[in-house]
Chain A
């Protein structure tokens, strides 16, 4: 079970979402993707997309305006 970090700092939406989609495709089932973002818009569409796909999602604000989105590729 790998943990993969994806650096999307400084990227405006929709770039973080596209990167997340591409990265998640490359991962194996059971891996956890940690997306680092600082764009509040990506805070909406990345978790929304992942939840819709049926992946477990968690969000953590590491510091002001800097978030980690945890996505588990469970299938």
Chain B
């Protein structure tokens, strides 16, 4: 990228803390950490193979979350705040991929006559209220569940505080859940779309809807840019 004038920072005079101090080379730490991860994975696989797979998936997921700055909170917040939908589109693509994968697994079970796997939970007004409460909390805490965990790994102190209350809140929620289930959720129906719409309409309809949302997000981004 060619710049017609001197770079911005070379024209700035009030920055005294120039990064003259050489940054520490972290390659050694990286290699040591990688070795520790592999060793622990081998240790886990000796106990039970799925444990090692979960360990590796967790590490990979955390790595991708951190490097890509993937953030569900920002994905739903930025379209309104800044007009940027890059993260929202990433989330939509993730849901599309998950839809295909989940549909394959569930249809397999369905055709074999087995119960359909997955968390098919009752839907109702409590879903919306819970979503709003969670959203407010996530924006204030600066991250949802995965985002908080990822930033704790980055040693961001605010999210460490958030994690403490995230755990406390989850425990309290789990403790109280029986009451809510018995008094609020009991009449809410569990809706599994393929049962209502049939498999083809549920599957392709969901994909079409997601594509439409993607297109809408793209339009929103460019409309804001003008």
Contacts and interface: CB of A to CB of B under 8 A. Distances in A.
16 contacts: A3-B13, A10-B158, A12-B142, A14-B82, A32-B8, A32-B11, A32-B12, A39-B142, A41-B142, A45-B78, A49-B82, A60-B9, A60-B19, A63-B21, A68-B9, A70-B8
B69 A49 contact: no
Contact of B14 (A14, A34, A57): A34
B69 A44 contact: yes
Contact of B24 (A10, A12, A64, A72): A64
B225 A52 contact: yes
Q: Interface size class for chain A?
A: 20 to 34
Contacts of B83: 52
Interface SS majority for chain B: loop
A17 B82 contact: yes
Interface of B: 3, 7-9, 11-15, 17, 19, 21, 23-24, 66, 69, 71, 74, 77-78, 81-84, 86, 139, 141-143, 151, 154-156, 158-159, 224-225
Interface of A: 3, 5, 10, 12-14, 17-18, 32, 34, 39-41, 43-45, 48-49, 52, 56-58, 60-65, 68, 70, 72
Given A14-B77, A32-B12, A62-B19, A48 B84 contact: yes
Contact of B19 (A39, A43, A48, A61): A61
B81 A17 contact: yes
Contact of B158 (A3, A12, A32): A12
Contacts of B139: 14
